[in-house]
Amino acid sequence: MSAHRALHPGAWIAWATGTAACAFVTTDPVYLLVLWAVSWFVYAACRVPEPTARSFRIFLVAGVVTLLVRTALVFLGTVTVSNTVAAALEGLRLATILVIFGTFNAVTDPFGVVRLAPRRFHEPALAAALALSIAPRTVTSVQRVREAQRLRGIRVSPLRSLPALAVPVLENGMEDALTLAESMDARGHGRGRRTRYRPQGWTPAAVVTAAAPALAAAAFFWAAFGDWAELHPPTSPLGWPDADGWLVAAALLPALPGLLPRGER
């Protein structure tokens, strides 16, 4: 399998931003579930081979946890059906944004995005890429250490022998980060004058990938500010969501990159 390089990474940044923007302005479960499904579809169609793509699952789990935690928070105060539903929808919105983010992580290499950053944003972009790569690497590291300790006769559980898991995971993480930092420095990172190797062009496929979610986001913002469709279902009193056909169609737009011919996406 070849490493993914067909699409300009900027197209994926635009895709993630546009799709997440749609989710950001609504709590209607119909739109959110459509966006969730679209995100999953794009992930399935466009993901790069393992192991980067594994991070999708992490974001998916994080999304579900967020949803549950946000809902559970209600139980700290007065519990009514309305505010439980409101909290759950709030949680669903956050979870959808996380899943969109997970797809972004799975379809493009975060370090590829760093190369794209303008020189003055290079350092923050790098920090962001490093931060993004921490979650999947930690998960792999946890699995590896847990297995290694088990084969040494030490069973690790949250209640027992936690240092046997946590210490190697944290120290390996630190050592890896340091090795990477050393390697980057030794290879001249941060000398200032940077050129770019084989900059990627904006192919029609990249334009579609970037433009489709932007169009969707425009429709959602227009609805939000123009008030021609309801984006937040009534929770007090409780009512059924009243999804607008046009907006459902708009929410489907970000699925387009998944339909592009294989060679181009």
Partner 1 sequence: MSGQALCYEGVSFTYPDAGVPALCDVDVQIPEGAFALVVGATGAGKSTLLRAANGLVPHFTGGSFAGRVIAGGRDTLVHPPRRLADVVAFVPQDPAASFVLDRVEDELAYGMENLGVDPAHMRRRVEEMLDLLDIAMLRDRSVRRISGGERQRVAIAAALATGARILVLDEPTSQLDPQGAEHVMAALQRLVHDHGVTVLLAEHRLERVAGWVDLALGLDRGAVRAGEPADVIRSLDSGPPVARLGRLLGWDPVPLTVRDARARIGSANGRHGSPSQTTVTPGLPTVAVGGMEARYGDGAPVLRDVDLTIGEGEIVVVMGRNGAGKSTLLRMIAGVHEPSAGTVTVRGRPPRPGIDVALCPQEPESVLFTDRVDHEVAATLKARGRPLTGTAHLLERIGIEALAERHPRDLSAGQRMLVATAAIAATDAPVLLLDEPTRGLDPASKDRLTRFLRERAADGSVALIATHDVELAAGVATRVVMLAGGEVVADGHPADVLGDSQVFAPQMTRVLGPGWLTPEQVAEAFA
For residue 183, state whether it binds partner 1 (rule: CB under 8 A).
yes
For residue 38, state whether it binds partner 1 (rule: CB under 8 A).
no
Specify the residue, 79 or 119, whose C-beta has the smaller distance to partner 1: 119
Question: Reduced to 3 states, what is the DSSP secondary structure of residue 191?
Answer: coil
d(CA 248, CA 29): 11
CA 94 to chain centre: 11
Contacts of 75 (CB under 8 A, 6+ apart): none
Report in angstroms how near the CB of residue 12 gets to partner 1 at its nearest: 14
Cα dist. 259→43, 185, 202, 252 in Å?
12, 41, 18, 12
d(CA 74, CA 79): 6
Report in angstroms how near the CB of residue 114 gets to partner 1 at its nearest: 8
In the set 16, 164, 216, 256, which binds partner 1 (CB under 8 A)? 164
Number of residues that bind partner 1 (CB under 8 A): 57
Residues between 92 and 151 that touch partner 1 (CB under 8 A): 109, 111-112, 115, 144-145, 147-151
Phi, psi of 238 (to 5 degrees): -65, 140
Report in angstroms how near the CB of residue 167 gets to partner 1 at its nearest: 4
In the set 178, 207, 249, 259, which binds partner 1 (CB under 8 A)? 178
For residue 242, state whether it binds partner 1 (rule: CB under 8 A).
no
Contacts with partner 1 by CB under 8 A lie at 1-5, 48-52, 109, 111-112, 115, 144-145, 147-155, 161, 163-164, 166-168, 171-172, 175-176, 178-199
